[in-house]
Chain A
Amino acid sequence: MIRCHELTVTFGSKAVLDRFSLDIPERGVTALSGPSGCGKTTLLRVLAGLERPQGGTVSGVAPSQTAILFQEDRLLPWRTVEQHLTDVLPRERWGEVPALLALAELEGEEKSFPSALSGGMGRRLALARCLALDARLYLLDEPFAGVDLPRALRILDRLNALPAPVLLVSHEPAVLARASATLTLDGPPLRLSS
């Protein structure tokens, strides 16, 4: 079990996480939903080691064992689709590129640059790059923004079958309904909605 225990993060005088605790199951997709600005992204950034909490602990996973998909795609305009994946994979795992492209439904786009991709395709490439990382916990911030719903649900089913747990932020009711577990949040500071 991955456990967040009494995490506290403040920006200036604003408490975004105030002794927030959460247990993440060992497998499957845990979906988080809640209003914008309630602290969901901050929680993911703390788990990824990008924000240092002023208090609390995370057990069961180290920041270096996580992989995060940011709210923005953060693609490199000078790298092709295929290179985005080989850049993060060790050479001995380059054979996994076709499977990752299939997971993100990007077959046939190997040689395309990001400027030639649609918004949804760019999002799926960012997702595939995140999943290419060997991680014990995947943190996905709105992975299906700009992705059509049937495709998003197909990809979600594949995420549900991953051997590592996925913590996912989404506002899409159909995605929340299909996840293994769903938590509705409120804030700031972040708290489970009653």
Chain B
Amino acid sequence: MACPKPLKNLIYVLLPPAFWLGVWQVCAFLVDRRLEGRGNELQLPYPASVWTAFTAMVGMGEFWATVAASLGRIALGLAWGVVLGAVLAVLTCASPWADRLLSPAVRVVRAAPVASFILLVVLWTGRDNVPAVIAAMMVVPVVWDSLFRGIQAVDRKLLELAQCCRFSRWKTLTLIYLPSLRPHILSALTTAGGLAWKSGVAAEVLCLPEPSLGQRIYYTKYYLDIPELFAWTAVTVALSLLLERLLRAGLARWGRGWGV
């Protein structure tokens, strides 16, 4: 008998997380058998322990304030990084001199260790601003690179058409450039979103702004509360995925019906 479609869809959705939960459970069991006492709680806790820690966290009043504060800081950094990266891409495409001047700086930011920047930015701006600044700094090269390539790849024939149809600059931007750049914008935003989260939370761990996910993660290390470390990490991952999903959904609505 054929499997009904809703059931099949449910299996498709649930099978991968169920598989990895199973792997996690088996690994935690093996660690538990090799170590005595609280060994597995310190190295690899069971999924159930993490769930317990998570539900306890969610029940606390400051959980949502912590999540909102980190989300706000990182979203602000992401937005600044996207705007700055886009401006740099336009400037470097428009002027070879701007490209010559700005490209080395952007490449240095891309190659330098995040930790060096975090320590420097703490000195320059104070700890509360570090996560947003670091998230923006990590996002800029990704957005710049992707949009720079995208702008250069815009079909010259369509630009010629815009010239012949006597399009204004605004029309050329909205009717030719932006739709042509859509795949590059999608790729840049999804990569940048993940980077902003990773770098932003890393900055929070080192700078401990209050309240923040990074600060919570730091305290779990301090108190050796590994189930809570897993739980806060899961919250961070879930928020990152949610942000990515929202960005993708927004951009999909933009391109709906084009048939391309």
Contacts and interface: CB of A to CB of B under 8 A. Distances in A.
A168 interface: no
A48 B164 contact: yes
Taking chain A's interface residues, is the majority helix, strand, or loop, or is none over half, making it mixed? loop
A116 interface: yes
Which of A74, A78, A116 has the most C-beta atoms of chain B within 10 angstroms of its own C-beta? A78
Interface in B224-260: 255, 257-260
Contacts of A70: 157, 160-161
Contacts of B166: 64, 88, 133
Given A64-B166, A133-B166, A77 B158 contact: no
Interface in A48-85: 48, 50, 64, 67-68, 70, 72, 74, 76-79
B171 interface: yes
A74 B260 contact: no
Contacts, number: 45
Given A76-B158, A77-B260, A67 B176 contact: no
B179 interface: yes
A109 to B, nearest CB: 13
B179 A78 contact: yes
Contacts of A74: 157-158, 160-161
Nearest to A129: B165
B155 to A, nearest CB: 8
Interface string A110-122: 0001111000000
Which of B157, B158, B257 has the most C-beta atoms of chain A within 10 angstroms of its own C-beta? B257
A84 B175 CA distance: 10
Given A74-B158, A77-B260, A67 B164 contact: yes
Nearest to B155: A74
Nearest to A111: B257
B161 A115 contact: no
Interface residues of A, number: 20
A115 B260 CA distance: 7
A52 B167 CA distance: 21
Taking chain B's interface residues, is the majority helix, strand, or loop, or is none over half, making it mixed? helix
Interface in A93-125: 113-116
Contacts of A79: 175
A172 interface: no
B260 A87 contact: no
B165 A87 contact: yes
Contact of B255 (A78, A116, A129): A78
Contacts of B161: 70, 74
B175 A72 contact: no
A150 to B, nearest CB: 29
Contacts of B257: 113
A133 B161 CA distance: 12
A-B pairs with lowest CB-CB distance, top 9: A115-B259, A78-B179, A77-B260, A74-B161, A78-B258, A88-B165, A113-B259, A68-B164, A77-B258
